[in-house]
Structure 1
Amino acid sequence: MSIYVGNIAYTVSQEDIQEVFADYGTVKRVTVPMDRETGRPRGFAFVEMSADAEEDAAIEALDGAEWLGREIRVNKARPREERPKR
């Protein structure tokens, strides 16, 4: 399962996110979606950790926390919905 991290600063890198979440366990992957048109980050990320207990600890500690002047949202990511093909 992945963790959704929302309302992050546009200047935050994958390494910054990995460093913060590493305090709660082993970070397997960090994904920062980019805007196709501008090439800039979209203001949210997904973090995958090695165990559910680590994810739960990170969510508990970081949801609503202030990071770089913004109150971040941290929760379990919802499964991706199937979209009709264009």
Structure 2
Amino acid sequence: MSVNIYVGNLSYDMTEGKLSELFGAHGAVTSAKIITDQYSGRSKGFGFIEMKDGKEADNAIKDLNGKNILNREMKVNIAKPKTNNWR
């Protein structure tokens, strides 16, 4: 079962390719997505990584959470499912 990982506080210079490479050092990355503003196309400073193996994902989270990449301290944890908190 694949694991969805939230990656926050990303540098605006981070690319999906670099992000995939960073996590790929820990195991198989299924997808890497940086969330961008729909109007400007600029990064919103966070994204998601999907990894195939839970153990590899745990290792990546432990190793990369708090790590300074491109002068930003990344926040890395298991992505929480979207909820409808608009009530």
Whether the TM-score (by the shorter chain) exceeds 0.5 is: yes
Are 2:32 and 1:58 equivalent residues in the alignment? Answer: no
Q: How many angstroms does 1:43 deviate by?
A: 0.4
TM-score (norm 1): 0.91
Q: How many residues align?
A: 84
Q: Deviations over 1:58-86 (max 9, x none)?
A: 000010011011111000000011366xx
* Residues in 2 aligned to 1:76 and 1:35: alpha-carbon distance in whole angstroms: 23
Q: Identity of aligned pairs, percent?
A: 37
Structure 2 gaps, min length 5 = none
Q: How many angstroms does 1:27 deviate by?
A: 0.3
Quote the residue 2:11 is aligned against: 9
Structure 1 gaps, min length 5 = none
Task: Determine helix, strand or coil for the equivalent of 2:60.
Answer: helix
Q: How many angstroms does 1:25 deviate by?
A: 0.2
* Residues in 2 aligned to 1:83 and 1:34: alpha-carbon distance in whole angstroms: 22
Quote the residue 2:73 is aligned against: 71
Name the structure with the higher strand share: 2
Two-structure CA RMSD over aligned residues (Å): 1.2
Q: Deviations over 1:14-55 (max 9, x none)?
A: 000011001100000011111112111110110000111111
Quote the residue 1:35 is aligned against: 37
Which residue identity lines up with residue 65 of structure 2 in the other structure? Answer: D
Task: Determine helix, strand or coil for the equivalent of 1:42.
Answer: strand
Question: Once superposed, which parts of structure 1, at least 4 consecutive aligned residues long, lie more than 6 Å away?
Answer: none
